[in-house]
Amino acid sequence: MLEAGKLSTTFGSYGPRAYSNRTTLITPPLIHHYFTSLRSNQLPLNNDDLLKSRGQGHSSIFTGYKGGGSNDLFHGLPIIYDVCWDTGIRAFGSFWRFEYSLGLTHGTLSNPANLGIDTNSGKQIISRISLIPATGLIIGSSYARGAYLDKAIAIALPAGKTPEDFVQEAFGFDFHYEVRHLKLIGEAVFNTWQIPNIVDSQNNRKDLTVLGWYIEGQYAFLPGLYASARFDQLTFGKIPNSTGQSLTWDDDIWRLEGGIGYQFWEGVLGKLIIQDIHKTRTARTTFGAAQLSLSF
C-alpha cells in the first residue's frame, strides 16, 4: 500500500501509542521528545562553544552559538520529534509474520518538515521492519538517514559545503511482549548527527552521538485499573574541550516514571504518576502529576 502527505512517525514502536488515551503514562520517552543542546538553525563555533550550552535544550534558556545561522529562538533537536508529523510518501504492508514500511520524507526524525515546509533540499529515507515470531511478541528494527540542518546556516558552513552534506542517521531496535495481564515494551536508538566545527583530539571532524533507550511495563490488576512504569536514559558521546578534557557534549539524563491509571468508561482515562529525573550537573528532581484524557 502507498500513502502520501503528512505521515505519522514509523521509526520505533512509540508512534501508535503517542496519544494520551493510548499510553499508560503521561510523558513520552526521552528519545521521542527530549531537547538536546544541538540546533538545526545555529552552529557552534567550536567544541567549547557547544559544551558551554549543555543542558540548554529549551529556547528560553539557550544562550546562543557563535558559529553563525539564524537568531530565531528555537528549541534544541530531540532524537525523534513525534509531535510534528513529517511530509512525504511511504509504502507499507505485510507478508507471513513480517510487517514493513519504507518512506521518503522532506524532513528528518529530529527536524520534521511540518506542513510540508522543508528547511533544506535534502530528503530522508526512513524504514522499519518487524517480526511476530510468536503470539504476543513483536520484534522491530528501524533505520533513518537524512539532512537535518536548516538552510539558514548555509552561509556559515565551510567552503564547498551545503546543509545537505550533514545528516542525521539513526538505528533503532524495539520489542513488545504481552501475556495475560502483563505488557513489556522496550526500545533503543543509536543516533548520530554530522556537524561542522566539532573535532576530536586529532583535530578531525567528529560526529555527535547519543544512545537512548527505555523499558516500560504495565500490569492490569482489575478491569480498567492498571499500574505502569518506565525507566529511560540518554547517554551522550564525548568530545574534547580546549584543555584536552573529554566531556559529554550534552548532559546525560535518566528518568523513572511510574503510577496508576483507571479507565472510568470508554474515552475517559485518568492517571496519577510520580516522576524522578536525574541529569549530569543538575540537582535531582521529583514531582507528581495527574492527567484526565478525554477522547471521542
Residue 278 lies in a domain: no
Residue 272 lies in a domain: no
- The pLDDT of residue 290: 97
Residues listed for the chain: 296
The cell for 121 is 533540499
Q: Residue 183: is its pLDDT beyond 90?
A: yes
Q: How confident is the model at residue 281 (pLDDT cuts 50, 70, 90)?
A: confident
The single residue listed with the C-alpha cell 533505520 is: 143
Residue % of the chain over a pLDDT of 90: 86
Q: Residue 114: is its pLDDT beyond 80?
A: no
Residue 288 lies in a domain: no
Residue 240 structural domain: 2-262
CATH number at residue 9: 2.40.160
- Rounded to whole angstroms, the Cα distance separating 162 from 153 reads 9
Q: How confident is the model at residue 119 (pLDDT cuts 50, 70, 90)?
A: confident
Residue 235 lies in a domain: yes
Average pLDDT over residues 98-103: 96
- The pLDDT of residue 16: 86
Mean pLDDT of the chain: 94
Average pLDDT over residues 65-69: 93
CB-neighbour burial class of residue 246 (10 A; exposed 0-12, middle 13-18, buried 19+): exposed
Asked if residues 9 and 91 have their Cβ atoms less than 8 Å apart, the reply is no
Residue 268 lies in a domain: no
- The pLDDT of residue 45: 96
- The pLDDT of residue 117: 76
Residue 67 lies in a domain: yes
Q: What angle do CA 206, 102, 100 make, to 5 degrees?
A: 115
At 124 the three-state DSSP class reads strand
Average pLDDT over residues 95-113: 95
At 184 the three-state DSSP class reads strand
Q: How many domains does the chain have?
A: 1
Q: Residue 116: is its pLDDT beyond 80?
A: no
Residue 291 lies in a domain: no
Q: What angle do CA 26, 294, 113 make, to 5 degrees?
A: 65
**79 DSSP β-pair partners:** none
pTM higher than the cut 0.85: yes
- The pLDDT of residue 83: 85
Name 55's Cβ contacts closer than 8 Å, sequence gap at least 6: 37, 61, 250, 251, 279, 281, 282
Residue 57 lies in a domain: yes
- The pLDDT of residue 205: 95
Asked if residues 163 and 153 have their Cβ atoms less than 8 Å apart, the reply is yes
